[in-house]
């Protein structure tokens, strides 16, 4: 809005100055070669000032365009990263749910993988997202990944105590995580793809 007002003010001032100059020229036409030189210099000065203002205004508009494009690219990159992290939670839950080997070492590896995802999701700032779909999906992924990590770590700790690793409850919870994350993730993905 401000740019349009500035543009209108510059154009209005230019029209007034040119109109005044033409009016003065018509009232006092040049009679001698020196008068012609003075009038030529006056019109040239006005044209140079107008051209200078136009160049400055054009550069200003280009800078604003670059800033908007940069902000848009940064926002898309951030949304893409968040979508990848949410997808990682979903794939992790699917991996746990369909895991064939059920050893304590598998629990440890899956716990470490889940810990990395939880850590990456913890750095995601919800305030930088203006989409409710993105925020819902992020919150669901964060909560679900923390709970899945807690289940994996508890199962691993139980396996160290010699009480068995209780793999069935972990797989059952992973199935719940997969179902809980999928809906918000798909809504966020659809919104993200439509905005590109």
Terminal CA-CA length for the chain = 25
CATH code at 77-195 = 1.20.120
* Ranges under pLDDT 70 in the chain: 1-3, 101-102, 161-166
pLDDT in tens, 10-29: 778 778 877 887 888 788 88
By the 10 Å C-beta count (0-12 exposed, 13-18 middle, 19+ buried), 131 is classed as middle
The alpha carbon of 4 is separated from its chain's Cα centroid by a whole number of angstroms, namely 26
How many whole angstroms separate alpha carbon 11 and alpha carbon 163? 83
Tokens 């003065």 found at: 24
How many whole angstroms separate alpha carbon 54 and alpha carbon 132? 42
By the 10 Å C-beta count (0-12 exposed, 13-18 middle, 19+ buried), 113 is classed as middle
What is the predicted pLDDT for the residue at 2? Answer: 62
What is the predicted pLDDT for the residue at 151? Answer: 87
What is the predicted pLDDT for the residue at 165? Answer: 57
Domain residue extents for the chain = 77-195
What is the predicted pLDDT for the residue at 17? Answer: 79
Q: Treating both helix axes as pointing N-terminal to C-terminal, what angle do 33-97 and 167-194 enclose, rounded to 10 degrees?
A: 160
What is the predicted pLDDT for the residue at 166? Answer: 67
What is the predicted pLDDT for the residue at 75? Answer: 86
Write down the pTM of the prediction: 0.69
């Amino acid at each position: 809005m401000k740019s349009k007002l500035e543009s209108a003010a510059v154009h209005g001032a230019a029209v007034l100055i040119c109109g005044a100059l033409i009016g003065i020229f018509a009232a006092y036409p040049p009679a001698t070669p020196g008068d012609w030189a003075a009038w030529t210099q006056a019109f040239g000065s006005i044209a140079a000032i107008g051209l200078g203002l136009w160049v400055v205004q054009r550069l200003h508009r280009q800078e604003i365009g670059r800033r908007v494009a940069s902000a848009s690219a940064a926002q898309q990159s951030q949304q893409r990263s968040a979508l990848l992290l949410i997808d990682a939670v979903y794939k992790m839950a699917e991996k746990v749910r369909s895991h064939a080997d059920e050893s304590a070492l598998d629990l440890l590896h899956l716990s470490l993988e889940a810990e990395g995802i939880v850590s990456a999701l913890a750095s995601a700032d919800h305030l930088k997202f203006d989409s409710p779909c993105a925020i819902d999906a992020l919150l669901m992924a964060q909560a679900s990944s923390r709970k899945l990590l807690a289940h994996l770590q508890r199962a691993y700790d139980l396996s160290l105590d010699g009480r068995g690793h209780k793999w069935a409850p972990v797989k059952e919870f992973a199935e719940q995580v997969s179902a809980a994350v999928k809906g918000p993730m798909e809504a966020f993905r659809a919104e993200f793809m439509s905005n590109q």
